[in-house]
Amino acid sequence: MINFNYETDFKLTTEEHISHWVIETIKLEGYKLEEINYVFCDDQYLHKLNVEFLNHDTLTDIISFDYSVGKIIQGDIFISIERVADNAMDFEVNFEDELHRIIIHGVLHYCGYKDKTDEDAKVMTAKEDHYLKMLS
């Protein structure tokens, strides 16, 4: 099950479409979905979580808490709509494309992909690109 929660005025207009896409991604990666809770929020909300739970005093676009066990995916994904909007401008892409990239980025972390090294980040970006093409 995928749940969408809003701590800001933003609201997805395609929740069902996004849900099907995320579920299909998880299946194609060889995992099974238990539950993902997406929480769309602002910078202040996400910054507070970043400081409180990760001891990072920085702004970020996404924080994911992974409660998965084995191949069963479960977790909470917090996304700052303000950061996504700023990143979209910085990367010269439209807001919706950047939002979709961030939505699937959190899921790919749950599927075991990392992005701390340059090599891992390249693999992660390639996977994001692959699944973003499926969304269209």
Provide CB contacts within 8 A for 92, sequence distance 6+. none
The reply to whether 105 sits in an annotated binding site is yes
What are the backbone dihedrals phi and psi of residue 39, each rounded to the nearest 5 degrees, phi first? -125, 115
109 is in an annotated binding site: yes
CA distances from 110 to 58, 63, 77, 88, 131 (A): 22, 12, 10, 24, 15
Provide the token pair at 46: 């996400």
CA separation for the pair 29, 15 (Å, rounded):
21
Annotated binding site: 105, 109, 115
Annotated binding site for Zn(2+): 105, 109, 115
